Amino acid sequence: MKRLLLALALLAGPVQAQTDPRVAQSIALRERWQWLTRDIAFPAEWDADGRHFHYRKTVAGGFAFVDVDTATRAKSAAFDAAAMAKSLANAQGQAVDPLRLPFEHFDFEGARRAIRFAIDDAPWRCTLTDYVCAPVEEPGRRPRGFGVVRDLKVPALNVPQRSPDGAREALVVDDNLVVRGANGGAEAWRSQDGSPGDFYDPETLVWSPDGKWLALYRVRPGYRRIVTRVVSSPVGQVQPALAEQLYPKPGDAIDQERPVLFEAATGRRIDVPDALFPNPWQLGDIQWRKDGRSFAFEYLRRGFQQAKVIAVDTATGTARAVIGEDAKTFVFNERRFVHDVKGEGRELIWASERDGWRHLYWVDGASGRVRPITRGRWVVRDIARIDDDARRIWFSAGGVTPGEDPYHKHWFRIDFDGRNLTRLTDGDETHEARFSPDGTSFVDVHSRTDLPEVTDLRDASSGRIIATLERGDVRALTAAGYRPPEPFVAKGRDGTTDIYGMVVRPRDYDPGKRYAVIENIYAGPHDSFVPKGYWPFGGFSGGDKAMGMQQIADLGFIVVMIDGMGTANRSKAFHDVAWKNLADSGFPDRIAWMKALAAKDASVDLSRVGIYGGSAGGQSTLNALLFHPDFYKAGVAFAGCFDNRMDKIDWNEQWLGWPVDASYLAASGVVHADKLQGKLLLVVGEQDSNVDPASTMQVVDALIRADKDFELLVVPNGEHSAGRSTGPVAYGQRREYDFFLRALGGAR
Note whether 601 and 647 are within 8 A (CB).
no
pLDDT digits (tens, 9 = 90+) for 600-658: 999 999 999 999 999 999 999 999 999 999 999 999 999 999 999 999 999 999 999 99
Cis peptide preceding 248, ω within 30 of 0: no
> Same domain, yes or no, for 117 and 167?
no
pLDDT digits (tens, 9 = 90+) for 529-584: 999 999 654 434 445 567 789 999 999 999 999 999 999 999 999 999 999 999 99
> Same domain, yes or no, for 129 and 152?
no
> How many whole angstroms separate alpha carbon 467 and alpha carbon 307?
43
- Is 17 a residue whose pLDDT tops 70? no
> Same domain, yes or no, for 59 and 186?
no
pLDDT number for residue 545 = 65
Note whether 628 and 587 are within 8 A (CB).
yes
Which candidate, 566, 564, 489, 561, places its Cα nearest to that of 518?
561
- Is 700 a residue whose pLDDT tops 50? yes
Provide Rg for the chain, Cα atoms. 28
> Same domain, yes or no, for 128 and 182?
no
Q: How far is CA 702 from CA 8, 155, 189, 373, in A?
A: 16, 41, 59, 52
Q: Would residue 656 count as lying in a domain?
A: yes
pLDDT number for residue 32 = 87
For residue 60, the Cα-to-chain-centroid distance in whole angstroms is: 30
Beta bridge partners of 122: 119
pLDDT number for residue 14 = 45
Q: Which amino acid is at 591?
A: I
Instruction: Report the chain's terminal Cα–Cα distance, integer Å.
Output: 42
Mean pLDDT of 332-347: 98
* Banded pLDDT at 731 (limits 50, 70, 90): confident
> How many whole angstroms separate alpha carbon 138 and alpha carbon 579?
41
Q: Would residue 353 count as lying in a domain?
A: no
> Same domain, yes or no, for 152 and 226?
yes
Note whether 407 and 6 are within 8 A (CB).
no
Helix (H, G, I), strand (E, B) or coil at 576: helix
pLDDT number for residue 85 = 98
pLDDT digits (tens, 9 = 90+) for 285-320: 999 999 999 999 999 999 999 999 999 999 999 999
Cis peptide preceding 406, ω within 30 of 0: no
> How many whole angstroms separate alpha carbon 185 and alpha carbon 638?
57
Note whether 708 and 674 are within 8 A (CB).
yes
Q: How far is CA 133 from CA 110, 118, 129, 130, 714, in A?
A: 16, 12, 11, 9, 37
Q: Would residue 574 count as lying in a domain?
A: yes
Of 303, 336, 369, which residue is a domain's last?
Answer: 336
* Banded pLDDT at 13 (limits 50, 70, 90): very low
> How many whole angstroms separate alpha carbon 300 and alpha carbon 332?
10
> How many whole angstroms separate alpha carbon 170 and alpha carbon 583?
50
> Same domain, yes or no, for 284 and 256?
yes
Of 78, 112, 138, which residue is a domain's last?
Answer: 138
CATH number at residue 609: 3.40.50.1820
- Is 139 a residue whose pLDDT tops 90? no
> Same domain, yes or no, for 91 and 184?
no
Note whether 209 and 295 are within 8 A (CB).
no
- Is 726 a residue whose pLDDT tops 70? no
- Is 345 a residue whose pLDDT tops 90? yes
Domain extent for 93? 45-138
CATH number at residue 169: 2.140.10.30
Q: Would residue 347 count as lying in a domain?
A: no
> How many whole angstroms separate alpha carbon 512 and alpha carbon 585?
33
pLDDT number for residue 721 = 81
The angle subtended at Cα 591 by Cα 590 and Cα 594, nearest 5°, is 85
> Same domain, yes or no, for 153 and 58?
no
- Is 384 a residue whose pLDDT tops 70? yes
Q: Would residue 248 count as lying in a domain?
A: yes
Of 336, 354, 373, which residue is a domain's last?
Answer: 336
Q: Which amino acid is at 725?
A: S
Beta bridge partners of 463: none
- Is 152 a residue whose pLDDT tops 80? yes
Task: Report helix, strand and coil shares of the chain as percent, to nearest 5.
Answer: 20, 35, 50
Percent share of the chain, pLDDT over 90: 90
Note whether 590 and 564 are within 8 A (CB).
yes
> Same domain, yes or no, for 701 and 569?
yes
pLDDT digits (tens, 9 = 90+) for 48-102: 999 999 999 999 999 999 999 999 999 999 999 999 999 999 999 999 999 999 9
Strands 338-340 and 306-313: unpaired
pLDDT number for residue 217 = 98
pLDDT number for residue 539 = 38
Q: Would residue 167 count as lying in a domain?
A: yes
> How many whole angstroms separate alpha carbon 299 and alpha carbon 399?
30
pLDDT number for residue 722 = 62
H or E element, residue 172: strand 168-173
pLDDT digits (tens, 9 = 90+) for 397-431: 999 999 999 999 999 999 999 999 999 999 999 99
Q: How far is CA 379 from CA 240, 489, 579, in A?
A: 51, 19, 19
Domain total of the chain: 3
- Is 5 a residue whose pLDDT tops 50? no
> How many whole angstroms separate alpha carbon 286 and alpha carbon 541?
36
> Same domain, yes or no, for 531 and 568?
yes
Half-sphere exposure of 457 (CA within 13 A, CB side): 22
Q: Would residue 380 count as lying in a domain?
A: no
Mean pLDDT of 115-125: 95
> Same domain, yes or no, for 109 and 28?
no
Report pTM: 0.95
Cβ within 8 Å of residue 288, ≥6 positions away: 206, 207, 208, 209, 215, 294, 295
* Banded pLDDT at 18 (limits 50, 70, 90): low
Q: Would residue 342 count as lying in a domain?
A: no
Percent share of the chain, pLDDT over 70: 95
Q: What is the mean pLDDT of the chain?
A: 94
> Same domain, yes or no, for 172 and 292?
yes
> How many whole angstroms separate alpha carbon 158 and alpha carbon 634?
54
Cβ within 8 Å of residue 736, ≥6 positions away: 612, 636, 681, 683, 724
pLDDT number for residue 723 = 53
H or E element, residue 22: helix 21-33
H or E element, residue 364: strand 359-364
